[in-house]
Every structure is written in C-alpha cells, then in structure tokens.
Amino acid sequence: MSTPVMADTPSVAERIAKDRADWLLDAVACALQDRRFLRGDPEYDEVIGGAILLNAEKAILVALARALEALNTENSEMVALSKGRLA
C-alpha cells in the first residue's frame, strides 16, 4: 500500500531540481567570486539569486521530463520489439 501524497509535498523531480538549482547558484558564486550569490551572506542579492534558482529549477524540471519521456518511449519500443511488433 502506498502512502498518499499531499498536494504541498514536492515530487521527486521537484526535490532533485531544487537541490541541483542550489548547487548551480553555489557554482555561480564560486566561479564569479561574488558574494551577491552566496545565500546567508549579508551581500546576498535576493532578486538575482532568486531568479537564478527559479530559472534553474524550471530548466532542470524540463530536462527531467524530457529524459523520462525519452526513456518511456525507448522502453515501449523495446517491449514492442520483444513481442515482435516492430521491424
């Protein structure tokens, strides 16, 4: 029996996207050596940091969705091949 998912509970993809977006912002801060991108720093810029995080999360979610779609298509084709439905 599976546990019901609450509407406000992030999906696995959303948790992955948030984690990787956080990593990206840290990478930007490190690469640019700019304290405006270091969350928790007094110089952190909420607008710029928030924009990077939001856009990164959206891009990662799109990439995950496309990857899952491609895997599902590939899996369907493999099943069809195994049943002799594709040439």
What's the pLDDT tens digit per position in 45-54?
999 999 999 9
Query: What is the end-to-end Cα distance of the chain in Å, rounded?
Result: 39
Confidence check: pLDDT of 71 > 90: no
Confidence check: pLDDT of 64 > 70: yes
Confidence check: pLDDT of 69 > 80: yes
**Interatomic CA distance for residues 17 and 68, integer angstroms:** 14
HSE-up of residue 9 (Cα within 13 Å, Cβ side):
6
pLDDT digits (tens, 9 = 90+) for 4-28: 555 678 899 999 999 999 999 999 9
How sure is the predictor about 78, in pLDDT bands with cuts at 50, 70 and 90?
Answer: confident
Average pLDDT value for residue range 36-57 = 95
Give 2's DSSP letter: P
